[in-house]
Structure 1
Protein backbone atom coordinates (compact mmCIF):
# COMPACT_ATOMS: atom_id res chain seq x y z
CA UNK A 1 0.00 0.00 0.00
CA UNK A 2 1.41 3.38 -0.96
CA UNK A 3 0.31 6.92 -1.69
CA UNK A 4 2.21 9.36 -3.87
CA UNK A 5 1.35 13.06 -3.99
CA UNK A 6 2.55 14.78 -7.16
CA UNK A 7 2.81 18.47 -8.00
CA UNK A 8 1.22 18.46 -11.47
CA UNK A 9 2.41 21.46 -13.48
CA UNK A 10 0.52 20.56 -16.61
CA UNK A 11 -2.55 21.63 -18.62
CA UNK A 12 -5.93 20.40 -17.30
CA UNK A 13 -6.55 18.29 -20.44
CA UNK A 14 -3.41 16.29 -19.63
CA UNK A 15 -4.40 15.85 -15.99
CA UNK A 16 -7.84 14.56 -16.97
CA UNK A 17 -6.03 11.81 -18.89
CA UNK A 18 -4.09 10.86 -15.75
CA UNK A 19 -6.71 10.94 -13.00
CA UNK A 20 -10.27 11.65 -11.90
CA UNK A 21 -10.89 15.26 -10.96
CA UNK A 22 -11.68 15.85 -7.28
CA UNK A 23 -11.69 18.84 -4.94
CA UNK A 24 -11.04 22.12 -6.76
CA UNK A 25 -10.20 25.60 -5.52
CA UNK A 26 -6.96 27.49 -6.18
CA UNK A 27 -5.47 23.99 -6.25
CA UNK A 28 -7.20 21.11 -8.02
CA UNK A 29 -6.80 17.44 -7.17
CA UNK A 30 -6.85 14.53 -9.63
CA UNK A 31 -6.91 11.02 -8.21
CA UNK A 32 -5.52 7.79 -9.61
CA UNK A 33 -5.95 4.47 -7.84
CA UNK A 34 -5.17 0.80 -8.44
CA UNK A 35 -5.83 -1.74 -5.72
CA UNK A 36 -4.30 -0.20 -2.57
CA UNK A 37 -1.90 2.14 -4.38
CA UNK A 38 -3.00 5.74 -4.94
CA UNK A 39 -1.63 8.81 -6.70
CA UNK A 40 -2.80 12.34 -5.89
CA UNK A 41 -2.03 14.90 -8.58
CA UNK A 42 -2.17 18.53 -7.39
CA UNK A 43 -2.61 21.21 -10.05
CA UNK A 44 -1.80 24.88 -9.25
CA UNK A 45 -5.02 26.00 -10.94
CA UNK A 46 -4.69 29.72 -10.10
CA UNK A 47 -1.05 30.02 -11.14
CA UNK A 48 0.58 32.23 -12.44
CA UNK A 49 -1.65 35.00 -11.07
CA UNK A 50 -1.43 33.47 -7.58
CA UNK A 51 2.05 32.35 -6.64
CA UNK A 52 0.59 30.73 -3.52
CA UNK A 53 -1.29 28.29 -5.78
CA UNK A 54 2.03 27.00 -7.13
CA UNK A 55 3.60 26.92 -3.67
CA UNK A 56 0.73 24.89 -2.17
CA UNK A 57 0.88 22.34 -4.99
CA UNK A 58 4.61 21.89 -4.55
CA UNK A 59 4.68 21.98 -0.75
CA UNK A 60 2.66 18.78 -0.33
CA UNK A 61 4.41 16.82 -3.09
CA UNK A 62 6.94 14.00 -2.99
CA UNK A 63 7.35 14.17 -6.77
CA UNK A 64 6.45 16.39 -9.71
CA UNK A 65 5.22 16.25 -13.29
CA UNK A 66 6.32 19.12 -15.52
CA UNK A 67 4.77 19.32 -18.99
CA UNK A 68 6.72 21.88 -21.02
CA UNK A 69 5.21 23.35 -24.20
CA UNK A 70 7.47 26.40 -24.40
CA UNK A 71 10.24 28.15 -22.49
CA UNK A 72 8.72 31.05 -20.54
CA UNK A 73 9.39 33.06 -17.35
CA UNK A 74 6.74 30.90 -15.67
CA UNK A 75 8.75 27.77 -16.46
CA UNK A 76 11.75 29.34 -14.75
CA UNK A 77 9.62 30.20 -11.72
CA UNK A 78 8.33 26.61 -11.51
CA UNK A 79 11.90 25.28 -11.65
CA UNK A 80 12.94 27.61 -8.83
CA UNK A 81 9.92 26.64 -6.72
CA UNK A 82 10.54 22.90 -7.10
CA UNK A 83 14.22 23.38 -6.30
CA UNK A 84 13.60 25.63 -3.26
CA UNK A 85 11.09 23.14 -1.87
CA UNK A 86 13.45 20.20 -2.49
CA UNK A 87 11.12 18.08 -4.65
CA UNK A 88 13.89 15.81 -5.88
CA UNK A 89 11.92 13.24 -7.94
CA UNK A 90 9.92 14.01 -11.03
CA UNK A 91 8.91 13.45 -14.63
CA UNK A 92 9.42 15.87 -17.52
CA UNK A 93 7.36 15.76 -20.72
CA UNK A 94 8.43 17.96 -23.66
CA UNK A 95 6.00 18.97 -26.41
CA UNK A 96 5.87 21.32 -29.41
CA UNK A 97 9.16 19.91 -30.74
CA UNK A 98 11.19 21.02 -27.73
CA UNK A 99 14.39 19.03 -27.23
CA UNK A 100 16.21 18.02 -24.08
CA UNK A 101 19.18 20.14 -25.11
CA UNK A 102 16.94 23.23 -24.97
CA UNK A 103 15.73 22.72 -21.40
CA UNK A 104 18.60 20.92 -19.65
CA UNK A 105 20.63 24.14 -19.18
CA UNK A 106 17.67 25.54 -17.21
CA UNK A 107 17.81 22.56 -14.82
CA UNK A 108 21.53 22.74 -14.16
CA UNK A 109 22.34 22.97 -10.45
CA UNK A 110 18.75 22.22 -9.39
CA UNK A 111 16.88 19.11 -8.23
CA UNK A 112 15.40 18.84 -11.71
CA UNK A 113 18.70 17.44 -12.99
CA UNK A 114 17.52 14.14 -11.51
CA UNK A 115 14.06 14.15 -13.14
CA UNK A 116 13.17 11.57 -15.77
CA UNK A 117 12.31 12.61 -19.33
CA UNK A 118 9.18 10.85 -20.61
CA UNK A 119 7.21 10.68 -23.84
CA UNK A 120 3.72 12.26 -23.86
CA UNK A 121 2.13 8.84 -23.51
CA UNK A 122 -0.37 9.19 -20.67
CA UNK A 123 -1.04 5.46 -20.29
CA UNK A 124 2.67 4.81 -19.76
CA UNK A 125 2.96 7.78 -17.41
CA UNK A 126 0.03 6.52 -15.32
CA UNK A 127 1.77 3.17 -15.02
CA UNK A 128 5.04 4.83 -13.92
CA UNK A 129 3.19 6.89 -11.29
CA UNK A 130 1.39 3.84 -9.89
CA UNK A 131 4.65 1.89 -9.70
CA UNK A 132 6.22 4.88 -7.94
CA UNK A 133 3.32 4.94 -5.47
CA UNK A 134 3.73 1.22 -4.79
CA UNK A 135 7.29 1.90 -3.60
CA UNK A 136 6.03 4.34 -0.95
CA UNK A 137 5.60 2.49 2.33
CA UNK A 138 2.59 3.45 4.42
CA UNK A 139 2.21 0.43 6.70
CA UNK A 140 0.98 0.96 10.24
CA UNK A 141 3.93 1.36 12.64
CA UNK A 142 4.41 -1.34 15.28
CA UNK A 143 2.57 -0.79 18.55
CA UNK A 144 4.39 1.70 20.76
CA UNK A 145 6.46 3.18 17.94
CA UNK A 146 5.79 6.51 16.25
CA UNK A 147 3.45 7.78 19.01
CA UNK A 148 2.89 11.25 17.50
CA UNK A 149 1.57 12.58 14.22
CA UNK A 150 0.96 15.90 12.48
CA UNK A 151 -1.34 16.88 9.60
CA UNK A 152 -1.64 20.14 7.62
CA UNK A 153 -5.16 21.14 6.53
CA UNK A 154 -5.82 22.30 2.97
CA UNK A 155 -9.64 22.10 2.88
CA UNK A 156 -12.33 21.95 5.59
CA UNK A 157 -16.13 21.76 5.53
CA UNK A 158 -19.20 20.39 7.24
CA UNK A 159 -20.76 17.14 5.96
CA UNK A 160 -24.36 16.42 6.86
CA UNK A 161 -24.60 13.41 9.16
CA UNK A 162 -20.83 13.35 9.76
CA UNK A 163 -19.90 16.82 11.01
CA UNK A 164 -16.57 18.53 10.55
CA UNK A 165 -14.32 17.04 7.86
CA UNK A 166 -10.82 18.17 6.93
CA UNK A 167 -8.63 17.21 3.99
CA UNK A 168 -4.86 17.33 3.99
CA UNK A 169 -1.59 15.48 4.18
CA UNK A 170 0.23 13.87 7.09
CA UNK A 171 3.56 15.69 7.33
CA UNK A 172 5.16 13.64 10.10
CA UNK A 173 4.57 10.56 12.21
CA UNK A 174 1.32 8.65 12.56
CA UNK A 175 -2.25 9.68 13.40
CA UNK A 176 -4.68 7.10 14.75
CA UNK A 177 -8.44 6.88 15.10
CA UNK A 178 -9.60 8.37 18.44
CA UNK A 179 -6.45 10.50 18.88
CA UNK A 180 -6.96 13.75 20.77
CA UNK A 181 -5.55 16.44 18.52
CA UNK A 182 -4.26 19.91 19.25
CA UNK A 183 -5.55 22.42 16.70
CA UNK A 184 -2.85 24.98 15.95
CA UNK A 185 -2.62 27.92 16.03
CA UNK A 186 -4.96 28.41 18.98
CA UNK A 187 -6.02 26.52 22.06
CA UNK A 188 -8.75 24.24 20.68
CA UNK A 189 -8.66 20.46 20.65
CA UNK A 190 -10.53 17.86 18.61
CA UNK A 191 -11.12 14.11 18.66
CA UNK A 192 -10.25 12.15 15.52
CA UNK A 193 -13.47 10.23 14.80
CA UNK A 194 -12.45 8.50 11.58
CA UNK A 195 -9.84 8.43 8.82
CA UNK A 196 -10.29 7.89 5.10
CA UNK A 197 -7.61 7.40 2.48
CA UNK A 198 -9.04 7.84 -1.01
CA UNK A 199 -12.55 6.92 0.24
CA UNK A 200 -11.38 3.80 2.11
CA UNK A 201 -11.68 3.69 5.91
CA UNK A 202 -8.46 3.30 7.85
CA UNK A 203 -7.45 3.06 11.51
CA UNK A 204 -4.28 5.13 10.95
CA UNK A 205 -2.46 7.51 8.61
CA UNK A 206 1.30 7.99 8.26
CA UNK A 207 3.63 10.57 6.73
CA UNK A 208 2.78 11.45 3.10
CA UNK A 209 -0.69 9.89 3.27
CA UNK A 210 -3.41 12.02 1.69
CA UNK A 211 -6.38 11.79 4.08
CA UNK A 212 -9.81 12.98 5.02
CA UNK A 213 -10.47 13.18 8.76
CA UNK A 214 -13.82 13.43 10.54
CA UNK A 215 -13.48 15.42 13.78
CA UNK A 216 -15.48 15.82 16.97
CA UNK A 217 -15.60 18.81 19.33
CA UNK A 218 -14.78 21.41 16.71
CA UNK A 219 -16.71 23.24 13.99
CA UNK A 220 -15.57 23.71 10.41
CA UNK A 221 -15.86 27.47 10.92
CA UNK A 222 -13.17 27.24 13.62
CA UNK A 223 -10.62 26.01 11.07
CA UNK A 224 -8.72 27.48 8.13
CA UNK A 225 -6.29 26.34 5.46
CA UNK A 226 -2.85 26.07 7.01
CA UNK A 227 -4.13 25.01 10.42
CA UNK A 228 -2.31 22.01 11.84
CA UNK A 229 -3.68 19.00 13.72
CA UNK A 230 -1.13 17.27 15.90
CA UNK A 231 -0.41 15.00 18.83
CA UNK A 232 3.25 16.02 18.80
CA UNK A 233 4.42 18.22 21.70
CA UNK A 234 7.45 19.39 19.69
CA UNK A 235 5.29 21.33 17.20
CA UNK A 236 5.83 25.07 17.81
CA UNK A 237 3.99 28.30 17.03
CA UNK A 238 5.64 31.68 16.47
CA UNK A 239 4.91 35.18 15.19
CA UNK A 240 8.55 35.89 14.32
CA UNK A 241 11.24 34.16 12.30
CA UNK A 242 14.92 34.65 13.07
CA UNK A 243 17.13 32.46 10.91
CA UNK A 244 19.85 32.32 8.30
CA UNK A 245 18.55 32.36 4.73
CA UNK A 246 19.97 31.20 1.40
CA UNK A 247 18.89 33.33 -1.56
CA UNK A 248 18.60 31.86 -5.05
CA UNK A 249 21.53 32.62 -7.34
CA UNK A 250 19.39 34.84 -9.56
CA UNK A 251 18.25 37.14 -6.74
CA UNK A 252 19.73 40.52 -7.77
CA UNK A 253 20.10 42.60 -4.60
CA UNK A 254 20.28 42.46 -0.80
CA UNK A 255 17.18 41.94 1.33
CA UNK A 256 16.48 45.14 3.21
CA UNK A 257 14.51 46.14 6.28
CA UNK A 258 10.88 46.88 5.57
CA UNK A 259 10.54 44.36 2.69
CA UNK A 260 7.34 42.31 2.76
CA UNK A 261 8.20 38.63 2.29
CA UNK A 262 5.81 35.69 2.25
CA UNK A 263 6.84 32.58 4.18
CA UNK A 264 5.64 29.28 2.71
CA UNK A 265 5.55 26.29 5.05
CA UNK A 266 3.27 23.24 4.82
CA UNK A 267 -0.10 24.77 3.82
CA UNK A 268 0.77 28.20 5.23
CA UNK A 269 1.63 31.25 3.09
CA UNK A 270 2.13 34.09 5.56
CA UNK A 271 3.11 37.69 4.91
CA UNK A 272 5.65 39.38 7.15
CA UNK A 273 7.92 42.40 7.33
CA UNK A 274 11.69 42.09 7.47
CA UNK A 275 12.80 43.90 10.64
CA UNK A 276 16.53 43.15 10.71
CA UNK A 277 19.12 41.98 8.18
CA UNK A 278 22.69 40.85 8.91
CA UNK A 279 24.73 39.60 5.96
CA UNK A 280 28.41 39.94 6.96
CA UNK A 281 29.20 41.08 3.43
CA UNK A 282 27.48 38.14 1.69
CA UNK A 283 23.99 39.30 0.75
CA UNK A 284 22.98 35.85 -0.51
CA UNK A 285 23.34 34.37 2.99
CA UNK A 286 21.74 36.88 5.36
CA UNK A 287 20.40 36.32 8.85
CA UNK A 288 16.84 37.64 8.75
CA UNK A 289 14.29 38.60 11.35
CA UNK A 290 10.75 38.60 9.93
CA UNK A 291 7.74 39.82 11.91
CA UNK A 292 4.82 37.68 10.71
CA UNK A 293 1.25 38.89 10.19
CA UNK A 294 -0.14 35.51 11.33
CA UNK A 295 1.14 32.75 13.57
CA UNK A 296 3.36 30.15 11.91
CA UNK A 297 3.12 26.48 12.98
CA UNK A 298 6.25 24.39 12.45
CA UNK A 299 8.70 21.78 13.67
CA UNK A 300 12.33 22.70 14.45
CA UNK A 301 14.50 22.13 11.39
CA UNK A 302 11.69 22.69 8.90
CA UNK A 303 12.36 24.60 5.67
CA UNK A 304 10.49 27.81 4.76
CA UNK A 305 10.38 29.05 1.15
CA UNK A 306 10.56 32.85 0.91
CA UNK A 307 8.57 34.79 -1.72
CA UNK A 308 8.46 38.44 -2.77
CA UNK A 309 5.24 39.18 -4.63
CA UNK A 310 6.44 42.56 -5.90
CA UNK A 311 9.39 40.94 -7.67
CA UNK A 312 7.90 40.99 -11.18
CA UNK A 313 9.13 37.95 -13.09
CA UNK A 314 11.28 36.83 -10.15
CA UNK A 315 9.10 36.17 -7.11
CA UNK A 316 10.96 33.36 -5.36
CA UNK A 317 13.64 34.69 -3.02
CA UNK A 318 15.15 31.60 -1.41
CA UNK A 319 14.70 29.51 1.71
CA UNK A 320 15.63 29.29 5.36
CA UNK A 321 15.73 26.63 8.07
CA UNK A 322 13.71 27.20 11.24
CA UNK A 323 15.45 26.69 14.54
Structure 2
Protein backbone atom coordinates (compact mmCIF):
# COMPACT_ATOMS: atom_id res chain seq x y z
CA UNK A 1 0.00 0.00 0.00
CA UNK A 2 1.18 3.54 -0.77
CA UNK A 3 2.53 5.35 2.29
CA UNK A 4 1.69 8.94 3.25
CA UNK A 5 3.62 11.59 5.17
CA UNK A 6 2.11 15.02 5.86
CA UNK A 7 4.03 18.20 6.68
CA UNK A 8 3.12 21.75 7.63
CA UNK A 9 5.60 24.34 6.34
CA UNK A 10 5.95 27.38 8.60
CA UNK A 11 8.12 30.49 8.74
CA UNK A 12 9.21 31.07 5.15
CA UNK A 13 6.27 29.36 3.43
CA UNK A 14 7.73 29.88 -0.05
CA UNK A 15 10.10 26.92 0.35
CA UNK A 16 7.15 24.50 0.02
CA UNK A 17 7.25 25.05 -3.76
CA UNK A 18 10.66 23.31 -3.80
CA UNK A 19 9.20 20.12 -2.38
CA UNK A 20 6.14 19.33 -4.50
CA UNK A 21 3.57 20.34 -7.09
CA UNK A 22 0.95 22.91 -6.11
CA UNK A 23 -2.55 21.50 -5.57
CA UNK A 24 -5.53 22.86 -3.66
CA UNK A 25 -5.34 26.62 -2.98
CA UNK A 26 -7.52 28.43 -0.43
CA UNK A 27 -6.33 30.00 2.84
CA UNK A 28 -4.20 26.87 3.03
CA UNK A 29 -2.22 25.66 0.01
CA UNK A 30 -1.03 22.10 -0.56
CA UNK A 31 1.96 20.82 -2.48
CA UNK A 32 2.57 17.12 -2.95
CA UNK A 33 4.98 14.68 -4.53
CA UNK A 34 4.97 10.91 -4.99
CA UNK A 35 8.32 9.13 -4.85
CA UNK A 36 8.92 5.38 -4.41
CA UNK A 37 5.34 4.67 -3.28
CA UNK A 38 5.43 7.47 -0.69
CA UNK A 39 3.15 10.50 -1.08
CA UNK A 40 4.48 13.52 0.78
CA UNK A 41 2.13 16.47 1.24
CA UNK A 42 3.34 19.91 2.30
CA UNK A 43 0.67 22.37 3.50
CA UNK A 44 1.20 26.08 4.11
CA UNK A 45 -1.15 28.42 6.01
CA UNK A 46 -1.02 31.16 3.37
CA UNK A 47 -3.95 32.90 5.10
CA UNK A 48 -1.58 33.50 8.05
CA UNK A 49 -0.51 35.92 9.52
CA UNK A 50 -3.57 37.94 8.42
CA UNK A 51 -5.72 35.28 10.09
CA UNK A 52 -4.73 32.97 12.96
CA UNK A 53 -7.20 30.20 12.04
CA UNK A 54 -5.29 28.65 9.06
CA UNK A 55 -2.17 28.34 11.22
CA UNK A 56 -3.91 26.06 13.72
CA UNK A 57 -5.71 24.10 10.99
CA UNK A 58 -2.60 23.34 8.93
CA UNK A 59 -0.63 22.30 12.01
CA UNK A 60 -3.45 19.93 12.94
CA UNK A 61 -3.33 18.34 9.47
CA UNK A 62 0.36 17.44 9.75
CA UNK A 63 2.35 14.73 11.47
CA UNK A 64 5.60 16.66 10.97
CA UNK A 65 6.64 20.33 11.04
CA UNK A 66 9.09 22.09 8.73
CA UNK A 67 9.92 25.47 10.29
CA UNK A 68 12.32 27.66 8.30
CA UNK A 69 12.84 31.02 9.98
CA UNK A 70 14.14 34.06 8.11
CA UNK A 71 13.30 36.74 10.69
CA UNK A 72 12.35 36.83 14.36
CA UNK A 73 9.09 38.72 14.91
CA UNK A 74 5.82 38.37 16.79
CA UNK A 75 4.44 36.04 14.13
CA UNK A 76 7.31 33.61 14.64
CA UNK A 77 6.45 33.80 18.33
CA UNK A 78 2.82 33.03 17.55
CA UNK A 79 3.83 30.00 15.46
CA UNK A 80 6.03 28.72 18.31
CA UNK A 81 3.13 29.08 20.79
CA UNK A 82 0.74 27.32 18.35
CA UNK A 83 3.11 24.37 17.86
CA UNK A 84 3.69 24.06 21.60
CA UNK A 85 -0.04 24.34 22.37
CA UNK A 86 -0.81 21.53 19.92
CA UNK A 87 2.10 19.42 21.23
CA UNK A 88 3.62 18.97 17.75
CA UNK A 89 6.77 17.17 18.87
CA UNK A 90 8.09 15.96 15.49
CA UNK A 91 9.75 18.61 13.38
CA UNK A 92 12.70 20.06 11.51
CA UNK A 93 13.99 23.54 12.36
CA UNK A 94 16.23 25.68 10.18
CA UNK A 95 16.99 29.37 9.83
CA UNK A 96 18.68 31.81 7.50
CA UNK A 97 22.16 33.04 8.35
CA UNK A 98 21.02 36.49 9.51
CA UNK A 99 18.79 35.08 12.27
CA UNK A 100 20.20 35.47 15.79
CA UNK A 101 20.74 31.86 16.86
CA UNK A 102 20.96 32.69 20.57
CA UNK A 103 17.70 34.66 20.53
CA UNK A 104 15.96 31.83 18.65
CA UNK A 105 17.26 29.32 21.21
CA UNK A 106 15.78 31.48 23.97
CA UNK A 107 12.42 31.69 22.17
CA UNK A 108 12.07 27.90 21.79
CA UNK A 109 13.46 26.99 25.22
CA UNK A 110 11.04 24.77 27.21
CA UNK A 111 8.81 24.22 24.14
CA UNK A 112 8.39 21.21 21.86
CA UNK A 113 10.62 22.95 19.32
CA UNK A 114 13.67 22.50 21.54
CA UNK A 115 13.77 18.85 20.43
CA UNK A 116 13.29 19.45 16.69
CA UNK A 117 16.04 18.33 14.32
CA UNK A 118 18.24 21.37 13.62
CA UNK A 119 19.38 21.42 9.98
CA UNK A 120 20.90 23.77 7.41
CA UNK A 121 18.32 25.12 4.92
CA UNK A 122 19.76 23.11 2.02
CA UNK A 123 19.40 19.88 4.06
CA UNK A 124 15.65 20.21 4.76
CA UNK A 125 14.41 17.93 1.96
CA UNK A 126 17.14 15.34 2.51
CA UNK A 127 16.24 15.21 6.21
CA UNK A 128 12.45 15.17 5.80
CA UNK A 129 12.59 12.47 3.10
CA UNK A 130 13.84 10.09 5.80
CA UNK A 131 10.84 10.67 8.08
CA UNK A 132 8.48 7.69 8.24
CA UNK A 133 4.70 7.40 8.02
CA UNK A 134 2.92 7.77 11.37
CA UNK A 135 -0.39 5.90 11.42
CA UNK A 136 -3.21 6.07 13.97
CA UNK A 137 -5.09 2.83 14.51
CA UNK A 138 -8.77 2.52 15.44
CA UNK A 139 -12.17 3.21 13.95
CA UNK A 140 -12.36 5.02 10.61
CA UNK A 141 -12.00 8.81 10.92
CA UNK A 142 -11.56 11.28 8.06
CA UNK A 143 -10.94 14.97 8.85
CA UNK A 144 -12.38 17.17 6.07
CA UNK A 145 -10.58 20.29 4.85
CA UNK A 146 -12.37 21.06 1.54
CA UNK A 147 -15.61 20.04 -0.18
CA UNK A 148 -17.03 21.01 -3.57
CA UNK A 149 -19.25 19.87 -6.43
CA UNK A 150 -17.62 18.33 -9.51
CA UNK A 151 -19.63 18.17 -12.72
CA UNK A 152 -20.41 14.58 -13.61
CA UNK A 153 -19.11 13.30 -10.26
CA UNK A 154 -21.14 15.09 -7.59
CA UNK A 155 -19.90 15.91 -4.11
CA UNK A 156 -16.16 15.55 -3.62
CA UNK A 157 -14.56 15.70 -0.18
CA UNK A 158 -10.85 16.34 0.40
CA UNK A 159 -9.32 15.36 3.71
CA UNK A 160 -7.00 13.17 5.72
CA UNK A 161 -7.61 9.69 7.08
CA UNK A 162 -6.75 10.67 10.64
CA UNK A 163 -7.37 7.22 12.10
CA UNK A 164 -7.93 3.67 10.87
CA UNK A 165 -8.79 2.76 7.30
CA UNK A 166 -11.54 3.56 4.79
CA UNK A 167 -12.72 1.48 1.85
CA UNK A 168 -14.76 2.10 -1.28
CA UNK A 169 -18.50 1.64 -0.53
CA UNK A 170 -18.04 2.26 3.21
CA UNK A 171 -21.05 3.85 4.90
CA UNK A 172 -19.93 6.53 7.35
CA UNK A 173 -21.50 9.33 9.38
CA UNK A 174 -20.80 12.99 8.66
CA UNK A 175 -20.40 14.59 12.08
CA UNK A 176 -21.53 16.73 13.83
CA UNK A 177 -24.55 16.75 11.47
CA UNK A 178 -25.14 12.98 11.81
CA UNK A 179 -25.82 12.50 8.06
CA UNK A 180 -25.23 9.07 6.43
CA UNK A 181 -22.60 9.20 3.68
CA UNK A 182 -21.56 6.51 1.18
CA UNK A 183 -18.02 6.57 -0.25
CA UNK A 184 -18.41 5.96 -4.00
CA UNK A 185 -14.72 6.19 -4.86
CA UNK A 186 -11.33 7.08 -3.35
CA UNK A 187 -8.36 8.82 -4.93
CA UNK A 188 -4.85 9.34 -3.60
CA UNK A 189 -2.56 11.70 -5.55
CA UNK A 190 -5.17 11.59 -8.39
CA UNK A 191 -4.94 7.76 -8.62
CA UNK A 192 -8.00 5.60 -7.86
CA UNK A 193 -7.61 3.21 -4.92
CA UNK A 194 -10.01 0.81 -3.21
CA UNK A 195 -8.87 1.66 0.31
CA UNK A 196 -6.72 4.15 2.20
CA UNK A 197 -5.22 4.03 5.67
CA UNK A 198 -4.09 6.66 8.15
CA UNK A 199 -2.59 9.22 7.52
CA UNK A 200 -3.44 9.24 3.78
CA UNK A 201 -4.68 12.40 2.07
CA UNK A 202 -7.73 11.41 0.04
CA UNK A 203 -10.25 12.73 -2.42
CA UNK A 204 -13.62 11.06 -1.91
CA UNK A 205 -16.57 11.03 -4.27
CA UNK A 206 -19.54 10.60 -1.93
CA UNK A 207 -23.30 10.12 -1.95
CA UNK A 208 -25.84 11.35 0.60
CA UNK A 209 -24.61 14.88 1.19
CA UNK A 210 -24.06 18.08 -0.81
CA UNK A 211 -21.25 20.63 -0.34
CA UNK A 212 -23.55 23.09 1.45
CA UNK A 213 -23.88 20.54 4.29
CA UNK A 214 -20.14 20.03 4.75
CA UNK A 215 -17.76 22.36 6.61
CA UNK A 216 -14.02 22.36 7.19
CA UNK A 217 -13.28 20.34 10.29
CA UNK A 218 -16.29 18.05 9.92
CA UNK A 219 -15.56 14.37 10.46
CA UNK A 220 -16.48 11.24 8.49
CA UNK A 221 -16.44 8.36 10.94
CA UNK A 222 -17.94 5.07 11.99
CA UNK A 223 -21.28 5.65 13.79
CA UNK A 224 -21.02 6.41 17.54
CA UNK A 225 -17.23 6.86 17.45
CA UNK A 226 -17.30 10.59 18.30
CA UNK A 227 -18.78 12.92 20.89
CA UNK A 228 -20.84 15.93 19.79
CA UNK A 229 -21.65 18.82 22.12
CA UNK A 230 -21.93 22.59 22.50
CA UNK A 231 -20.49 22.36 26.04
CA UNK A 232 -16.79 21.77 26.69
CA UNK A 233 -14.71 21.55 29.84
CA UNK A 234 -10.99 21.74 29.24
CA UNK A 235 -7.85 21.33 31.33
CA UNK A 236 -6.89 24.90 30.45
CA UNK A 237 -3.43 26.44 30.64
CA UNK A 238 -3.32 30.16 29.86
CA UNK A 239 -0.67 31.35 27.41
CA UNK A 240 1.77 33.39 29.58
CA UNK A 241 2.31 35.83 26.69
CA UNK A 242 -1.40 36.76 26.58
CA UNK A 243 -1.78 39.62 29.04
CA UNK A 244 -5.56 40.11 28.91
CA UNK A 245 -8.03 38.86 31.52
CA UNK A 246 -10.41 35.96 30.94
CA UNK A 247 -13.89 36.57 32.35
CA UNK A 248 -17.27 34.77 32.28
CA UNK A 249 -19.38 35.42 29.15
CA UNK A 250 -16.33 36.73 27.28
CA UNK A 251 -16.45 35.73 23.60
CA UNK A 252 -13.69 33.80 21.84
CA UNK A 253 -13.04 31.22 19.12
CA UNK A 254 -12.13 27.61 19.84
CA UNK A 255 -10.03 25.38 17.61
CA UNK A 256 -10.43 21.59 17.76
CA UNK A 257 -8.67 19.80 14.92
CA UNK A 258 -9.75 21.76 11.84
CA UNK A 259 -12.92 23.06 13.50
CA UNK A 260 -13.17 26.75 14.39
CA UNK A 261 -16.24 27.62 16.49
CA UNK A 262 -17.41 30.84 18.16
CA UNK A 263 -17.79 30.34 21.91
CA UNK A 264 -18.02 32.08 25.26
CA UNK A 265 -16.57 31.31 28.65
CA UNK A 266 -19.40 29.92 30.77
CA UNK A 267 -17.10 29.20 33.73
CA UNK A 268 -13.50 30.12 34.56
CA UNK A 269 -12.63 27.59 37.26
CA UNK A 270 -13.07 24.92 36.05
CA UNK A 271 -12.81 26.38 32.56
CA UNK A 272 -15.97 25.65 30.58
CA UNK A 273 -16.98 26.90 27.14
CA UNK A 274 -20.37 27.16 25.48
CA UNK A 275 -20.18 26.94 21.68
CA UNK A 276 -22.54 28.60 19.20
CA UNK A 277 -22.71 25.35 17.20
CA UNK A 278 -21.91 21.72 18.10
CA UNK A 279 -18.34 20.48 17.82
CA UNK A 280 -17.23 16.89 17.26
CA UNK A 281 -14.37 15.58 19.39
CA UNK A 282 -12.88 12.80 21.49
CA UNK A 283 -11.94 13.05 25.14
CA UNK A 284 -8.32 14.19 25.32
CA UNK A 285 -8.41 16.22 22.09
CA UNK A 286 -6.58 19.54 22.35
CA UNK A 287 -8.73 22.68 22.31
CA UNK A 288 -6.98 25.98 21.57
CA UNK A 289 -8.74 29.20 22.61
CA UNK A 290 -8.29 32.16 20.25
CA UNK A 291 -8.90 35.91 20.30
CA UNK A 292 -8.46 36.90 16.62
CA UNK A 293 -8.91 40.63 17.26
CA UNK A 294 -6.05 40.77 19.80
CA UNK A 295 -3.35 43.23 18.75
CA UNK A 296 -0.64 41.17 20.44
CA UNK A 297 -0.72 37.39 20.55
CA UNK A 298 -4.01 35.81 19.45
CA UNK A 299 -3.71 32.50 21.34
CA UNK A 300 -5.21 32.76 24.87
CA UNK A 301 -4.28 29.23 25.90
CA UNK A 302 -5.14 25.59 25.41
CA UNK A 303 -5.99 22.36 27.12
CA UNK A 304 -7.24 18.83 26.67
CA UNK A 305 -10.97 18.22 26.57
CA UNK A 306 -12.13 16.44 29.71
Q: Give the TM-score normalised by structure 1.
A: 0.89
Match of 2:268 among 256, 273, 277: 277
The residue aligned with 1:297 is 280
Matched, 1:136 2:119: no
Aligned positions, number: 305
Structure 1 runs, 4 residues or longer, greater than 6 Å off: none
Contact 1:90 1:115 in 2 (8 A): yes
Offset from partner CA, 1:224-283 (integer Å, 9 cap, x none) = 2122111142301111112331122333354211221211112101110112111xxxxx
SS in 2 for 1:131: coil
- Answer yes or no: is the 8 Å Cα contact 1:88–1:115 preserved in 2: yes
Pairing 1:242–2:233 present: yes
Does residue 127 (structure 1) correspond to residue 123 (structure 2)? The answer is: no
Give the conservation status (yes or no) of the 8 Å contact 1:153–1:224: yes
Please give the residue correspondences for 1:4-43 in structure 2 after superposition, counting only pairs within 5 Å.
4-43=5-44
1:219 counterpart residue number: 210
Gaps spanning 5+ residues in structure 1: where? 279-286
Cα root mean square deviation, aligned: 1.9
Which stretch has the larger CA shift, 50-59 or 234-243?
A: 234-243
Q: Distance in 1 between matches of 2:13 and 2:64?
A: 18
Using the alignment, how far apart are the partners of 2:14 and 2:273 within structure 1? 40
Per mean C-alpha deviation after superposition, the further-off stretch among 59-68 and 220-229 is 220-229
* Aligned residue number for residue 93 of structure 1: 94
Where do 1:250-289 residues align within 5 Å?
250-252=241-243, 254-278=245-269, 287-289=270-272
| Distance (whole Å) between structure 1 residues aligned to residue 243 and residue 20 of structure 2 | 40
Q: Say if 1:2 and 1:137, in contact at 8 Å, map to a contact too.
A: no
- The DSSP-based 3-state class of the residue aligned with 1:154 is strand
Preserved contact between residue 5 and residue 133 of structure 2 (Cα < 8 Å)? yes
Structure 2 CA distance for aligned equivalents of residues 138 and 76 of structure 1:
30
How many angstroms apart in 2 are the aligned matches of 1:70 and 1:11? 9
CA distance in 1, matches of 2:85, 2:254: 12
Q: Which whole-Å CA distance do the structure 2 matches of 1:181 and 1:245 have between them? A: 32
Where do 5+ consecutive residues of structure 2 fail to align?
Answer: none
1:12 CA displacement: 4.6
